[in-house]
Chains A and B, each alone.
Chain A
Amino acid sequence: EAGVAQSPRYKIIEKRQSVAFWCNPISGHATLYWYQQILGQGPKLLIQFQNNGVVDDSQLPKDRFSAERLKGVDSTLKIQPAKLEDSAVYLCASSLGPRFYEQYFGPGTRLTVT
C-alpha cells in the first residue's frame, strides 16, 4: 500500500514570496490533515478536511495560509506572503475517518524562509 506522498521535499524562499505544498493521501482515506512542525516542537494541526469539506481550521493563519482539497483526494497548502517564522516542516496526514483511526503521515516538506 502506497503511503502519503508529499512534494516538494525541500523548499527555500525569501520572505514575502509565496509557496505551495502538495499532498496525495493514501487511497480511500477520507480524512486529511495538515500539520506544521517548527524545530524543537511537536506537530501542530493547521487544518482538517473530511472528504473535500473543512472540519477544523481554527489554527490556520487565514491571513496568509490557505488550503484546499479538490475532489476529496489531493490537497494543496499555500502560504502567501511567507514570513521568517513560517520556516518549519509541513506534514500531511490521512486516515480512514475521524476519531479512533490511525493517522498516517507523509515525509513532510521542509520550508526555509530567508
Chain B
Amino acid sequence: DQQVKQNSPSLSVQEGRISILNCDYTNSMFDYFLWYKKYPAEGPTFLISISSIKDKNEDGRFTVFLNKSAKHLSLHIVPSQPGDSAVYFCAASAAGGGADGLTFGKGTHLIIQP
C-alpha cells in the first residue's frame, strides 16, 4: 500500500523552462511534507519542506505547493538548470509520539536538456 505516490518515473525539461514534479498521498495523518534530491551514489539531500498549515513555501528557484483537499503537492523549479538533473523524492511524515520517520515516494528522475 503506497501512501506517497509519484506517478511520473521520469521527466524531461529544457534548460531555462519550468520543471513541475507531482506527488499524491493517501494518509490523512501526514502533516509535514518534504522534497529530497538525489544524485547517483549519494544520499538524498533535503531541498524544501512545507507544513500542512501552509499551502505554499518558496526558497529561491524552488516552490512547493500543497493542496490538502486533493492530497496533492507539487514542486516547481524555475528556471531549470543542468545541475537540477537528479532523482527527486517526495516524502511525508505524521505526528505520533515522537516517531517521525519519513514515508517516501518512488521518485521522479528529472532530466534537464540543454
Q: A40-B106, A42-B91, A43-B104 are in contact. Are A102 and B99 (CB under 8 A)?
A: no
Residues of B within 8 A of A100 (CB): 32, 49, 51
Q: Which stretch (B37-45, B62-70, B71-79) binds chain A?
A: B37-45
- Which residue in chain B gives the minimum CB-CB distance to A95? B100
A33 interface residue per 8 A CB criterion: yes
Contact of A45 among B6, B89, B102, B107 (CB under 8 A): B102
B103 interface residue per 8 A CB criterion: yes
Q: Please state if A99 and B100 are interface contacts (CB–CB under 8 Å).
A: yes
B4 interface residue per 8 A CB criterion: yes
Q: Please state if B104 and A99 are interface contacts (CB–CB under 8 Å).
A: no
Q: How far is the CA of A106 from the CA of B45 in the complex (A)?
A: 9
Q: Please state if B44 and A105 are interface contacts (CB–CB under 8 Å).
A: yes
Contact residues on A (Cβ < 8 Å of other chain), bracket: 20 to 34
Contact residues on B (Cβ < 8 Å of other chain), bracket: 20 to 34
Q: How far is the CA of A91 from the CA of B43 in the complex (A)?
A: 7
Q: How far is the CA of A22 from the CA of B51 in the complex (A)?
A: 32
- Which residue in chain B gives the minimum CB-CB distance to A47? B101
Contact of B49 among A35, A45, A102 (CB under 8 A): A102
Distance (whole angstroms) from the CB of A110 to the closest CB of chain B:
8
Q: A42-B105, A44-B104 are in contact. Are A106 and B98 (CB under 8 A)?
A: no
Instruction: Given contact pairs A35-B101, A48-B101, A99-B32, enumerate 12 new A-B contacts (beta carbons under 8 Å).
Output: A40-B106, A42-B105, A42-B107, A44-B104, A45-B101, A48-B99, A99-B93, A100-B32, A102-B34, A106-B43, A107-B42, A108-B43
Chain A positions near chain B (C-beta within 8 angstroms): 4, 31, 33, 35, 40-45, 48, 50, 55-56, 91, 93, 98-100, 102-108
Chain A to chain B: the 7 pairs with minimum beta-carbon distance, closest first = A42-B104, A105-B43, A45-B101, A56-B99, A98-B98, A102-B46, A98-B100
